[in-house]
Structure 1
Amino acid sequence: MTEKQFEKLKYYVISITILFVVGHLLWEHLNGGILSHHLMHHPDYPSISNWWGLLILPFLAWLSTERIEKRVTLQPNDAPVRAKTLRVVRVGYFGMLILSFVQSFSFSVGYENVAIYLSLGLVVVGLFLPIYRAECIFGYVFGSIVFTGAIIPLIGILVMTGISWFSHVCIKPLVFRVVRAQPQ
């Protein structure tokens, strides 16, 4: 993929994201007003409006396309390697999108246990897979905007990705160093 194609893709992703968020907010406005969600789903805690999605999601779209472009351009000029990188990006994005959609849908219809188990499973998966990448964060927040807005999922995924980042950057190298140092 050339630099010009990446720029075009970046504008498409950001434009589609903005159109989706504006369409969703317009639908909410026409059907009773823009929703606000309480932290921890408790009415005594502050509520956060879905208007924040208009800032958060386009920023995440821009950030993820920038990071993907940087990751792909740092690869050697080998088409199969770049194609594999883009495939990994798509799997990460759509996997987190589907997981987040199922999680937020199950929470909104009253199956809080399913949402909690999916969150705990994501933390465990994050120990082994790099869910701290920008496309995973963007997919997670984008998948949950219809049911829970953008701020609360962003807070949750930032905690989970912090654990994943720490696991991959700090713990994993130490484990590999200890394993390599073992006499055979």
Structure 2
Amino acid sequence: MQPEIEVSAWSRASAARIWIVVAVAVAELAHLAWEHLHGGIVSHHLLADPGLPAVWNGWGLVLLPALAWWASGRCVRRIARHDDRRRAMVGGVAGFAVAAIAGVLLSAAFLQGREDLASLVLFSAFGLALLLPGYRAECVLGFVLAMTFVFGAVLPLMIASVVAGVSMLAHRVIYPVASRLWRRSRRPVPG
């Protein structure tokens, strides 16, 4: 009887992944259609510098569904491995929400012409990712989706990748090594 429950849970998770990907694809298609009808699909220059290459927003139609598929798969696997699945799911939703809020604040600051505020939000996101596991897939997805309607999908993914990389380096390498060194330094010296 137990395998039926696992298969049923796995099929529900697969259906949820498909719905997430479809929702993201439809939202991006609507976004690109709106841009097309209002002057054409926009391109954004790297670092907002016209001397640097521009990235076309149309890439979001490929990138965002792929990112949603990858992120939802990572989340499903992490939740399935967790002892307390409800807690893992709440943590995933919270990570998505916090990252999405950071993305919305960064986009809003940029739209208002407040580069100083945008820099503050970006550095705050880095700081938060050092405290919390900002490298998780749901955080990357939330951040990118929140910023897509202002910057397209590629530039936010580049920013999210740097933030996630710093967070992963801190949480998976620096903190464990520092913890081991701290425990070693606290051991009594045999004598």
- Bin the TM-score by the shorter chain: over 0.9
Other structure's SS at 1:132 match: coil
Structure 2 equivalent of residue 42 of structure 1: 49
Q: Once the two structures are superposed, what CA deviation does each residue of 1:98-135 show, in whole Å capped at 9, x if it has no partner?
A: 21011012112201111111111111111121101111
Q: Once the two structures are superposed, what CA deviation does each residue of 1:59-84 show, in whole Å capped at 9, x if it has no partner?
A: 110001110111111124xxxx1000
Unaligned ranges ≥5, structure 1: none
Aligned length: 180
Structure 1 equivalent of residue 38 of structure 2: 31
Structure 1 equivalent of residue 90 of structure 2: 87
Question: What's the % identity of the aligned pairs?
Answer: 31
Other structure's SS at 1:115 match: helix
Structure 2 equivalent of residue 163 of structure 1: 166
Unaligned ranges ≥5, structure 2: 1-7
Taking the TM superposition and a 5 Å limit, the aligned residue runs for 1:1-184 are 2-76=9-83, 81-181=84-184, 182-183=186-187
**Higher Rg:** 2
Cα displacement (A) at 1:179? 2.2
- Report the TM-score, using the length of structure 1 for normalisation: 0.94
C-alpha distance in 2 between matches for 1:46 and 1:73: 42
- Report the TM-score, using the length of structure 2 for normalisation: 0.91
C-alpha distance in 2 between matches for 1:101 and 1:69: 25
Runs of 4+ in 1 over 4 A off after TM superposition: none
C-alpha distance in 1 between matches for 2:126 and 2:117: 14
Other structure's SS at 2:55 match: strand
